[in-house]
Structure 1
Amino acid sequence: MKAVMMNGSGEPRAVLKLDEVNDPKAPQSGEAIVRIHKRIIHPADYQTIRGYLPAEVFTNAGVPGIDGVGVVESVGAGNDCATGIQVGTRVIVYHAKGTWAERVCVPTATLMPIPDDIDDAVASQLATNGITGLMLLRAAEQAIGSQEAPATILVTAAGSGVAQSLIALTRALGGKVIGLVRRDADGGAVSKRFGDLTVIGTDRDDWQDAVRRAAGQAPLVAIDPIGGQMLPKLLALLAPRGTLITYGALDPTPAPVSSGFLTSFELTIRGCSAMGWATRTPAEQRAADFNTLFDLARQSSHLFGGYSEFPLASVVDAIAAAEASPRRGATILVSDD
Structure 2
Amino acid sequence: MKPVDDIQEAARILESGRLVAFPTETVYGLGGDAENPAAVASIFALKNRPADHPLIVHVAPEADIGYWAAHVPDEAVSLMKAFWPGPLTLILKRAAHIPPDVAGGQDSVGLRCPSHPVAQALLRAFRQGKGGVAAPSANRFGHVSPTTAQHVRDEFGEDARLGMILDGGQSEVGIESTILDLSRVDSVGPVLLRPGKIGASQIADVIGVMPKAPDGTAPRASGTLASHYAPGTPVAIVPSKRLFQTLELLENHHRKVALLHFSLLPAERKIALAGEVSLYCSPDIYAHQLYVALRNLDMVGADVLIVEETPQGETWKGVNDRLRRAAYNGQGVVERLIASE
If the TM-score is normalised by the length of the shorter chain, which range does it land in? under 0.3
- TM-score of the pair, normalised by structure 2: 0.21
> Which gives a bigger RCO, structure 1 or 2 (Cα 8 Å, sep 6+)?
2
- The answer to which structure has the higher strand fraction is 1
